[in-house]
Amino acid sequence: MPSSTTFIEDLLAQMTLEEKIGQLNQMNGGPDLDPDLLRMGQVGSVILDAGPSDGPGSSEARRAEWANHLQRLALQARVPIPLLLARDVIHGFRTVFPIPLAQAAAFDPELSRAAAEMAAREATAAGIKWTFAPMLDIARDPRWGRIAEGNGEDPVLGARLAAALVHGFQGPDMSGPERLVACAKHFAGYGAAEGGRDYENAEISEPTLRDVYLPPFESAVRAGVGTVMCAFVDLNGIPATANRHLLTDILRGEWHFEGFVVSDWTSIPELVYHGVAEDEAHAAYLALHAGVDMDMAGMAYLNTLARSVREGRVPMEEVDAAVRRVLEVKRRAGLFERPFADPSRAARDVLTPEARQLARRFACQSMVLLKNEGNLLPLQGFRRILVAGPFLHARDELFGTWALDGRAEDVLPLDEALRQVAPEGVELWFADWADLALRRANEADAVVLLMGEHPTRSGENSNVSDLGLPPGQPEFIAAVAALGRPTVLVVFAGRPLAIAREVAQVQAVLYAWHPGIEGGAALGEILFGQASPGGRLPVTFPRATGQVPIYYNHKNSGRPLGPDRGFQSRYVDLPSSPLFPFGYGLTYTAFEYANLRLSGEVMRGRLEISADITNVGDRFGREVVQLYIRDRVGSLTRPVRELKDFQAVELRPGETRRVTFILREEQLAFTRADGTRGVEPGTFYVWVASDSQRGLRGEFRI
């Protein structure tokens, strides 16, 4: 094959203006898709639906055949160019892993990479080659439904997971038959939508944008992500879909991104509603000029660009540049050499025992133990245990948001899963309505309550004004707790919920998120001590809805948060501290931190920071050791703490291990008052800690 440049230029030379614009047009692959548009070269990408619902073989094999059918139509065009077939493969395909926010709670980039790799293997077996993932939006307001789809509130954790997910989806070579082209979304600032309402506006200062919201995206670009999706959000008065500063100056100019940018669903014509475009043609011009290469389902490019080019309103050079980028990603994805899927792969690569095992392990490691008074968990020594609540028979409710291809029949109902895992001699009683639960609780030795929010209550445009549990559940919990039985509260959710009252009423709280296809078995293993909860909070938990937005890496005011005294930052009806801080999570053992050492008092390029971590409990355990810093004086105000690194260690009872971090000078850089990025001399605090509010503190200078 000729060089990539020659190959792409030869293709461009053969194409008419309309055919070029066709490569910039993405359409939904539903029943309304006109096959003639494919034959005429008017479509560059199709969002792949399930295809025909009948016929022999698995649904994945039928979808692969449907994908091949669409490719054959596209290859009948005058200039045959394969389609890039896409789908939302967000946290698994047929094997549904924990929601992304839960995955972040594992603080384990390697597990995230492995899950993305497994999702890619399954999705490509169904003919899919492009996923609209990972979502990398920093979210500080849990009212926003899409917090479930991202990695939480911290840019360093988000950046580590961004690279891992891109490597998992794409591998070392995205042309591999089991690899997907990844898409970093939503660029940028989408998680800062006002009021936690999806699609709303956001006001983010340039330093905060660069230091908080952009690092995960830059990490994805450094990892070689093939595509980027722009956000719906109006950022500082310029919608992201028309924001040349984001899409050209930063993404391509500063970061040298070489892939292509796709709009979000119809976000190009929506520029008219934003009030920055007069009509669809004007919107198409603004988006193309800003750097949006492909129009997702909006038809604005297909409908208007050819005329705009011919009338001199859109430069031909901008169309050609966008087409080059789309064709180059298709070339890198191997589509010109292997446009067709292998339907036989579905029988061997989808929903394998290996995939289920990984999903169960991930679910165990993502669940966060928030409270364990008197070491109630794991449940041992109890003969009769009542399990009650609305999630009792949950199946696909365990999937969470954006699990388009998971199937309820693949999931063992939660009560059945618990029954299979329960130790011999333990009698489980089940009740899914309150009156029966209250009667049985009087006779039980312990109670497990399965509460939380349905998956449709989180995700895109599923925002809430109240972070409490759904109506009826708080009353259910209070009534059971009043009976005085040892009670465990298990919460299934796609966001942090404000559960201060419920936490106070029960003896143990396990936050299970929406844990995926193996969530029931994983929960059983944790409840009965066959596994330990491994999660730490990737996002701050508020005491009440009125406390949000709340996040650990906030700035001090001139009258900082603290014990109530005088006129300072506070609420008169609520403590200012969170219910649970970022990084927090208990285990079935206990860890002690001691002997903090720094390799010097002055950093010269790098600094070694170490501490002894000892398992002082009587069970094997995993601890996530976290490194935080505080820049005490800056030309711009600095956060009270910033996560800079983390390591997980697994220790036997009584075992001590010295954990060492290497802190490099570039990790201390920030956007300074003059707009440049760099490090300023001064004094820094450093903590080796188990969460963002505790730890051993040291000090150094630079």
Query: What single letter denotes the amino acid at residue 677?
Result: R
Decide: 158 and 218 in contact? Cβ < 8 Å. Answer: no
| DSSP string across 489-551 | EEEE-SS----HHHHHHSSEEEE--S--TTHHHHHHHHHTTSS------SSPBPSSGGG-S--
Residue 357: CB atoms within 10 A of its CB come to 11
Residues marked as catalytic: 264
Percentages (nearest 5) of helix, strand, coil residues in the chain: 35, 20, 45
d(CA 292, CA 239) in angstroms, rounded, equals: 12
Of the candidates 617, 613, 642, the residue with the CA atom closest to the CA atom of residue 625: 613
Query: What is the Cα–Cα distance from 634 to 669, expressed in whole angstroms?
Result: 11
Q: How far apart are CA 531 and CA 525, in angstroms?
A: 5
Pull the structure tokens for residue 644.
């800079």
Indicate the residue type of 162. Answer: A
Residue 349 half-sphere exposure toward CB, CA atoms < 13 A: 24
Residue owning tokens 């208990």: 586
- E strand or H helix at 365: helix 353-366
Distance CA(141)–CA(550), nearest Å, equals 7
Identity of the residue numbered 479:
A
- Tell me, what DSSP letter sits at residue 673? T
Q: Is the sign of the CA dihedral 622, 400, 211, 579 positive or negative?
A: negative
**How far is Cα 544 from Cα 562, in angstroms, rounded to an integer?**
18
Decide if 527 contacts 376 (C-beta within 8 A). Answer: no
Compute and round to an integer the Cα radius of gyration of the chain: 26
What residues contact residue 441 under an 8 Å CB cut-off, 6+ apart? 386, 388, 447, 480, 483, 485
Distance CA 89, CA 180 (A): 10
Q: How many residues does the chain have?
A: 702
- Angle at the Cα of 288 (from 282 to 294), degrees rounded to 5? 115
